[in-house]
Amino acid sequence: MAVGPELFPTMLPINGFKLGTTSAEIKTPNRRDLVVMEVVENATIAGVFTLNRFCAAPVLICQQHLAEIAGAVNAKRYLVTNTGYANAGTGPDGYKNSQAVCERLGKMTGVSTENVLPYSTGVIGEHLPVEVINGALIRCLDGLSESGWDDAAFGIMTTDTRPKGSSRSLVINGETISITGISKGSGMIMPNMATMLAYVATDVGLSQSLAEELLKEAADQSFNQATVDGDTSTNDSCMLIATDAANLRFETAEDQGYSLFKEALFAVCVELAQAIIRDGEGATKFVTVRVEQANTREEARCVAYTVAHSPLVKTALFASDPNWGRILAAIGRAPIDELDVANVSVYLDDVLLAEQGGVARSYREADGAKVMANDEFSIVIKLGRGDVSADVWTCDFSYDYVKINAEYRS
């Protein structure tokens, strides 16, 4: 179940970036579950990661390897992703297992272990079947192709019901460049950098400092505005790869044409983030919680997330029940200082729901129910405190959300 039609786009290849996918049968037979990505020499790689203190072994290793290879561009790099098991909460053995996969792939490709970046997703607390994964790596390498995006989008899925991809091509300074990305995520989605796994590649060249700055900002404007259930994963990783294969390179944010590239990259990240919410576990609604007239962006987000995380609000969304009292209660408990509820107004799309501390005199239950019967709509909250706005994308809690997570390990 997911919100909206399944529209997987045509994925433009990125010169200098190849993907190979196979079924290693890590957890589930006959399911694509292992992906290797090959990055050409001279490329720039940046990442943002979960802030969960129980972060998974592959996250720790990926961060360490990125730091060790920063500025070193004379060798190919490889990203390896397994699904089925997250290799989180696995202690020293989990670290050794993830490192063993990196070592094996490094030997197979003739690069140092530090040039291999690992990613895992799936059940927490289960150890990686290293021999199974290492034995299947050769099939990924044999299948490496710049057109391998479609299979890879399936290969990184866990409870996802559909693959998630986005691709753009545009002309900047007379050069045609491309940006293509995939993401996975359906449950345990709550940003604390980005959420889930995401890989975005472009043939543009970027300096290391600019790539890191750009990815942090892109994640903040996309993945950090998405929440399914308020749970920050142990394995969240979001990667940006710039292959420098096009005749266009940006060293600083002031370079001509950079703003156009940045806008296109942000659009790809937003599309990938929204696709995760549309495919939230058991989701039947895609809801934008927009807070306006806040003093700061942090304040606006705080209120938006309090509403978006409320189980009572989310179950009302599933029931298409305009239970405005639940929305007001969530706004009222948001941890912001000196909120004057008399200045707050709440809308369902353009239907005024509440104002001056209670239900609006013009409000009719039938009008609210009509909006909430839609698959997609907005909850708009005007705080009457300032001129800053922020959006958060979320979904409802359905019966299937409980069923999926109750049966997750079975």
| 294/313 Cα distance (integer angstroms) | 21
Continuous segment of H or E residues that includes residue 385: none
Closest by CA to 29, choosing from 120, 132, 128, is: 132
| 286/5 Cα distance (integer angstroms) | 12
195, 232, 306, 394: the catalytic one is 195
Helix, strand, coil tally for the chain in percent (to 5): 35, 25, 40
Burial of 53 (0-12, 13-18, 19+ CB in 10 A): exposed
Coil/strand/helix, residue 291: strand
Looking at the DSSP bridge assignments, the partners of residue 145 are 19
**Strands of 223-279, DSSP E:** 237-242, 249-250
Looking at the DSSP bridge assignments, the partners of residue 167 are 180
- Give the count of beta carbons closer than 10 Å to the beta carbon of residue 410: 4
Tokens standing for residue 182:
């995939």
Known active-site residue 28: no
> Is-contact 294 300, C-beta < 8 A?
yes
Looking at the DSSP bridge assignments, the partners of residue 378 are 288
99: which residues sit within 8 A by CB, 6+ positions away?
57, 61, 113
Which residues are known to be catalytic?
195
